[in-house]
Chain A
Amino acid sequence: MMTKTMFPPSITNLLLQEGQRFQINNNFVEALGTGIICCVASARGGKTSLAYVMLDYVIRYTKRPVILDSFPQKVIDEGVPDHWKGRVFNTPFSQIATVNEPAVWLVDDSGTHYNSRDSMGGGKLLARTAGILSHFGGGMTVIFTTQLLSGVDVSFFRYTNMATIIRYVDSDVLKHERSEWKELVQEGQYQLNRVSSGRCLDYFWSGKDRQLVRVHFPDWLNKKVDPIKADLMSRPMRYHTVQDKERMIKGGSKVVKKSKTDKSKENMTE
């Protein structure tokens, strides 16, 4: 069930709007309302659905607009639940400067859009933005999901407040995690396995609060209730045009030039 206290303090702090009050251990504190919530899980590990529950929380308990980064218009029109209508947009993250409200962004599968190996592309954009998130629109929050933190530009984690959410990560994939985060992800796996099994879809580990949190799964994401809407929300990128999908994979129209080799000097030492 959705309640205002359903998330632990580190997450609530970033989901509520700056200045909104919430309770920690019988004390009221004011929410910061700006920062990054990163959700790590392997494919089909419940990252996106958990991100949706957080956005649902934002829609219910705040007046913040919600932006689903680069989502297909079809998903905005036909996939989102009725009570989200009018509150949700699909502005690309690259246009963050044009938004003048304390928005909450969902950057889904950051590894594709903002890969750490694409240092001159989206990865750089995300990293540069992190430091000034609190300035834009009166303080913005970015929820991003990724299969592995090593896939995201490291600068993104350096300059703002963070709350980490760990869900099931495949043990073979975990070996490739960034050394700074590996311990946290491993601890998350241990804690999740204490209360659940398999893909541990019923809990997540909040790294900052060091607590397990039970996951709420809404009806509008349930395939048994409405399979079409559920698929629109569960796999939104599927509904992009082929051209858009190709652009996402290839990373725009960037062409890497091959370096020329002077055949006559190939084996020479100077």
Chain B
Amino acid sequence: MKGGIPLHVAIGDIRSITLRNKLKRLGLEGQHIDDLISLVDEIGIQQNLNDMPLGVRFSTVKSKKNKPNIWKG
């Protein structure tokens, strides 16, 4: 199982899967559908993070990795 589950399934919400299947059955596609899916994914992830400590929530924030400090003589 490890490493084989997409992020939105692993830490998202079951409703995002239901919505995906529903939209697929209806044959709906396009940018606005993708936006809707990502919105539901984000709501799901946020819901899960709500129960987590602040440290865990902060660690999910995208940040720049600091570069090694190399002396330029």
Binding site for B on A (CB under 8 A): 3, 5-8, 191, 194-195, 203, 206, 209-214
Contact = CB atoms under 8 A, between A and B. Distances in A.
Contact of B70 (A6, A7, A214): A214
A213 B68 contact: no
- Chain A interface SS verdict (over half): mixed
A8 B68 contact: no
B71 A3 contact: no
A5 B73 contact: yes
A209 B71 contact: yes
Interface of B: 68-71, 73
B71 A212 contact: yes
Contacts of A206: 71
A56 to B, nearest CB: 15
Chain B CB within 10 Å, residue with most, of A3, A194, A195, A210? A194
A3 B72 CA distance: 11
Contacts of A214: 70-71
Contacts of A203: 70
A191 B71 contact: no
B73 A210 contact: no
A207 B68 CA distance: 14
B22 to A, nearest CB: 47
